[in-house]
Amino acid sequence: MNEIVQPSSFDVEAARSHADAREAQFRAVKLPSDHPQVKAGRLGVLIMNLGTPEATSYWPMRAYLKEFLSDKRVIETPRWLWWPILNLIILQTRPKKKGRDYDLIWNKERNEGPLKTITRSQAEQAQAHLKQIAGDRVVVDWAMRYGQPAVKPALENLLAQGCDRILLVPMYPQYSAATSATACDKAFEALMTMRWQPSVRVAPPYHDDPVYIDALADSMRKELAKLDFEPEMILTSFHGVPRKYLLQGDPYHCQCAKTSRLLRETLGWPKERWMLTFQSRFGPDEWLQPYTDETVKGLAEKGVKRLAIVAPGFSADCLETLEELDGENREIFEHNGGEKFAYLPCLNDSEEGMRVIDHVVARELQGWL
């Protein structure tokens, strides 16, 4: 297992010294008395995830689904064809159904979806970690591509705090135009409206990063040790995309396959007891196969009694993992003869999950910090 190298005391002191010198440089500049206030010299980190509705009732669900399904990166169907399907059919019925699904996993204490709860915690923990290294020089914020908190206000907040260099961190280990690219699109749209644009970096996908693979393996070992059974089969389930995206050059399928393979090899799990599947298909088009739900049904029908599913492509548990995998697919398995089923949680804001986020952020801030 690869060891994570923590910054030495010398590195920390050097970073703080550099930060102090940079701030002192700005303080030393003599501005005219009527000059607008200038804040600069700090670094921003913006953690971005997909999104979640503001409530589970019809209108909040409809607003969320409309924004999500109107994205041309997500649905590439020509607008003249897609607009009536979306507005006259899908948005009339789907908000109620999805609202009921969200009700099953809703964080009642905070009155929000679990994705929002977890992403906020990830940002707060990343901020605390960076504070130990660089004091107050680095500011961490978080945003959702769809819904709230939105990307543009988050970027404006970082600028207002003097962040003239910002690292965008799409929380998708595997790149896809429908996830990583559309999150960056939203950030770039906001930058286009700014008079003083910050310098920007985008953290690349980390599907084969040893720190990520080792964190997944460590998390899985912990969760498997809690079970009262040993799975006959493990499924690594990734969110699906239409197959045509692969044929048009999207690297997502290949990166999912590599993550799954590296994870299996790290755990030393036999090939014949490990499968790669894709979930959450939508519409009539062919999506990446094999499909998770059909695979679960087929395994149960063939006599597999003990099954575990993990979702390495999700950085935080959400509707697709908690309701679809742990709910719908559990029911499919048990209804067709399966006996023991386990969903293994995402990395979330766990020790393993934060190890990955801290590693990616520290790596991508090199040269700035």
Binding residues for Fe(2+): 239, 320
Annotated binding site: 239, 320
Helix 151-160, helix 182-191: angle, nearest 10: 50
Say how many C-beta atoms besides its own lie within 10 A of residue 356's C-beta: 24
- 158 burial level (CB within 10 Å; 0-12, 13-18, 19+): buried
Six token digits for residue 205: 């996908």
CA angle 10, 204, 154 (to 5 degrees): 85
Rounded distance, CA 149 to CA 154, Å?
A: 7
Q: How far is CA 306 from the centre of its chain?
A: 29
Ordered alpha helix ranges (H), the chain:
9-28, 58-69, 79-85, 91-105, 114-134, 151-160, 182-191, 210-226, 243-247, 252-267, 292-301, 330-335, 351-364
* 235 Cβ contact partners less than 8 Å away, ≥ 6 residues apart: 275, 276, 277, 292, 295, 296, 307, 308, 309, 310
Phi and psi for 327 in degrees, rounded to 5?
A: -105, -70
Measured CA to CA, the distance from residue 194 to residue 155 in angstroms comes to 10
Which H/E stretch holds residue 168?
strand 163-170
What tokens does 266 get? 């790290």
